[in-house]
Structure 1
Amino acid sequence: NTNITTVEIGPQNLVLQDNHSLEAGPLPFVTIPPGHYCQVEHPIDINKPIVDGKLYELRFGHREIRLHGLCKDPFPLFPGERLPESGSAT
């Protein structure tokens, strides 16, 4: 048991092994409307490689601004990333 949380993306059937559990999901992707942006708290470190959506590092205490058209849209939030409570898109 390595206690690794993975992100599975796409329409698919996922069969869990006996030692795996479903933590959350399915969750909707974040879509930023034209002329808007969103803040992501504790974003993943984009300078580190993401191997098959399984290994990534969070930058705790940081905030990242994601603009419409400048980021992959729509995008999923990785475990640990979150949108502030005051509003997701402005």
Structure 2
Amino acid sequence: RHEDFLVVKQGNRGKYYIYHDSLKVLKLIKKLYSDNKNEIEVNEYLEENGIAMVINVSDEENTDNRDETLSVNMVDMVKTWNERFDQLEK
């Protein structure tokens, strides 16, 4: 449900590999659900508190067909873009 905030790779036989930084996020998600938050509220909390969103990027020149994972704090990125747009307007 919250794959946008987790670095997870599916392995063989239904196994999943979770990046160690994602364990902290999983624990936070578990705590939020135990605090009676629903899926939408959990996502909003993660977004508002600067939890980096994860984007999988495929490189067409990549010969071994592995995706590279890029973690991005979308809130900070949008703020930076807005600041730059303001500077350009001035």
TM-score range, shorter chain: under 0.3
Q: Which has the higher strand share?
A: 2
TM-score (norm 2): 0.24
TM-score (norm 1): 0.24
Q: Which has the higher helix share?
A: 2
Larger RCO (alpha carbons 8 Å, 6+ apart): 1
Task: Say which one has the larger Rg.
Answer: 2
